[in-house]
Structure 1
């Protein structure tokens, strides 16, 4: 077998980011949250503001990419400049953030299939947090994860070829559906409900803006594959920004597609309002195509976060913050032991039921926001140009603001009690493991 280094193209990077950013929520939130709570205009403004805020964070990441080319991305960057304590905190947060999104997307695959085929769930096992767990659901999510585990073992080239097919299909189907609904949707009720009777509402904008960290988790996955880029690193930030803009457009197109069929109150009555809208106006062919787009979104997320989480674990192991077992690479330069561990955990998590997984995944926004603040702080110290320093500082403040929105009492996006309990458990485990590691090696650099 060849041991040639496999590299990523610019389109690979765009596909990786879009696949990580666009997931289940892009298709289901228009009916469940965006239209009932904010409408079309307020949602669009929130996404535009969110993209601007994310831009400042991306500038902090740009400084990192220019000055730091080591595998591990944010973790190794913070580790190099702030030491082991802060480096471990970022690595522990990133691991949680990426790893938990894999089973979320895997269980979403089951929901996509249920939209197409009724009655596919058999072998009832138990109910946890009001969510019934079926044997067939577990088998489907396990099979999907194992398929992408095998694909990733073959190297980044095969993984990214499939990612490009998935994401190009996603973008094409959503774009065609959007144009179709513009011409054949109910434009009169759209104008009445969302233009004539719609009004700017700062509270509604804030409700959507507050969940931007969760919606855009994944744009920061590029630093995990810096060593695999087949083009100059300075272009990575441009590709990430472009991919983020594409993601923002897809979120809004799906929102408008739904609005062209239903009023806010009508949309809120459907389990999947976007799918129901396409089914009503484009029939089963259009609906099946949208299901394919949704499938592409969720499995693209599985692939992207398998790539990201395995590389974070490998980097932690390289710096002796995890057992060196996780740093081992196969002939394709893939950290196979880390990938195997991530796959195992991802297969086991659906046993908890999707409701519990959602409580866990809610924390990914907080973990991402903490990481953003850390990276931008370091970048503000490292940047040589004054403008980049200021932009990085703004990025740090944005990260801190997102943290406050997620934990401050009364915030529209405050985490649930269940999520805070899980946060306490994960933080406690991290502290105990780091304390054990520090005492085991008894090295001054841990202090």
Structure 2
């Protein structure tokens, strides 16, 4: 007889909403207006692309909500995939999804240096070590990123309540400041429309550019799928969690659009491309609203970064916990803190891996993260097909449609990212990282997962889904 470890139900509605939204809005929302959206895509194409991307994510989330209502357990997509396709597919899904979640933690931590470079030039550029792929690595930046990683690992281990309370405060500041800044820009009579008007007009519309934005949607909105990872800890109905996930996608889309509008009021596309603008959105806010506006934006960016660290710590540790509980990886990962009942060892592992990555610089880390976006898409694909299969069995016409659409969209994302030669495809370093991770997964499966492969289905049903096989009607 075995003892199934379980997590306590401690997460409220406001907790889960702030978890999802804080994970969605990371450093990219503040940096991409200058680096990609306005400089290469244009305001109209960005708004259309991000809105369509949000709509697609809401359709995919419908599938998540449907599966979550059936299996509200830690692991999310891992459990959904196991139910519909069995243990082997479940492990493939979790292998790539786990990498996506884990890699985003240090990506957010290293983004702290972006704030310092823009607001306090030279502050962290102390103790130059070396350059990797054109990125200069400084000990000052590594120390700050490491401090953030250790601090939020501590908060997560000390309990869901502490981590969730911090997430709510950070998300409130993040959203509130962006809304306030846009309100101030729109209501300032001294700010004209001459710059933003250059982005408008039918001739500015471009389907290829809109498609380019759509390809980053899985990465831009990754975060709503953190909710299924924490499903076992919800103290309310999973159906309500699904509605909150949709709301987080909508608010996240608005934040992306608002930051682009603010930037467009200050700079034309030509200005961004021709002048030496390090941080277009930051420079725009300073130009329009002064230093107070810039510092306010800096606080909002800081909240976005640390909320992302916190949110993906929770998501990554839960999927590792679920894998360990099922016997797919070492039982060490499913050890819980004696007082707080949180996945202590899984959190420590995420922290340890994350502490290594800043030493390689952001360029190398971005290769991994770009590749890891495939992991999020794989999660979307498996969940959508699983929802379709179950909906077909239960004759749920709505979910049959969203499941099929979700599978089509997810497959399209995969093609756009993986097919060589397309503008949207991965770079060669990201392809290499993807192949290396896949090979590592095959080696791991053959060498380390023997117990998992040989385990009785009845045992796995209980460990993964917390259900009796006799009462469970699998569709796979």
Give the TM interval when normalised to the shorter protein.
Answer: over 0.9
Deviations 1:43-93 (A, max 9, x none): 111111111111221111011111111211111221233112101101101
Aligned with residue 79 of structure 1, among 79, 82, 99 = 82
Whether contact under 8 Å (2:191, 2:288) holds in the other structure is no
Structure 2 length-normalised TM: 0.90
The alignment's C-alpha RMSD in Å is 1.8
SS of 1:132's equivalent in the other structure is: strand
Match in the other structure for 2:52: 49
Deviations 1:232-271 (A, max 9, x none): 1110110000000000000000000000001012123412
Cα 1:13/1:441, change in 2 over 3 Å: closer
Report the Cα offset of residue 15 of structure 1.
0.8
Whether contact under 8 Å (1:71, 1:224) holds in the other structure is yes
Report the Cα offset of residue 272 of structure 1.
0.7
Aligned with residue 248 of structure 1, among 253, 260, 268 = 253
Match in the other structure for 1:416: 427
Cα 1:399/1:441, change in 2 over 3 Å: closer
Aligned with residue 381 of structure 2, among 343, 358, 373 = 373
Report the Cα offset of residue 196 of structure 1.
4.6
Distance in 2, Cα, partners of 1:113 & 1:96:
28
Distance in 2, Cα, partners of 1:221 & 1:31:
28
More divergent stretch after superposition (111-120 vs 85-94): 111-120
Cα 1:316/1:298, change in 2 over 3 Å: same
Whether contact under 8 Å (1:7, 1:157) holds in the other structure is yes
Aligned with residue 293 of structure 1, among 291, 295, 300 = 300
SS of 1:231's equivalent in the other structure is: coil
More divergent stretch after superposition (195-204 vs 276-285): 195-204
Structure 2: stretches of 5+ with no match in the other structure: 1-5, 458-476
SS of 2:225's equivalent in the other structure is: helix
**Superposed counterparts of 1:229-244, under 5 Å:** 229-244=234-249
Aligned with residue 143 of structure 2, among 113, 121, 139 = 139
**Superposed counterparts of 1:306-321, under 5 Å:** 306-321=313-328
Report the Cα offset of residue 388 of structure 1.
1.0
Distance in 1, Cα, partners of 2:7 & 2:413:
42
Cα 1:434/1:198, change in 2 over 3 Å: same
Task: State yes or no: 1:124 paired with 2:135.
Answer: no
Report the Cα offset of residue 377 of structure 1.
0.6
Structure 1: stretches of 5+ with no match in the other structure: none
Report the Cα offset of residue 36 of structure 1.
2.1
Match in the other structure for 1:26: 29
Structure 1 length-normalised TM: 0.96
Report the Cα offset of residue 187 of structure 1.
3.1
Whether contact under 8 Å (2:286, 2:294) holds in the other structure is yes
Task: State yes or no: 1:338 paired with 2:346.
Answer: yes
Distance in 2, Cα, partners of 1:440 & 1:237:
34
Cα 1:358/1:179, change in 2 over 3 Å: same
**Superposed counterparts of 1:159-178, under 5 Å:** 159-178=163-182
Match in the other structure for 1:396: 407
Report the Cα offset of residue 31 of structure 1.
1.1
SS of 2:266's equivalent in the other structure is: coil
Distance in 1, Cα, partners of 2:20 & 2:29:
14
**Superposed counterparts of 1:339-358, under 5 Å:** 339-358=347-366
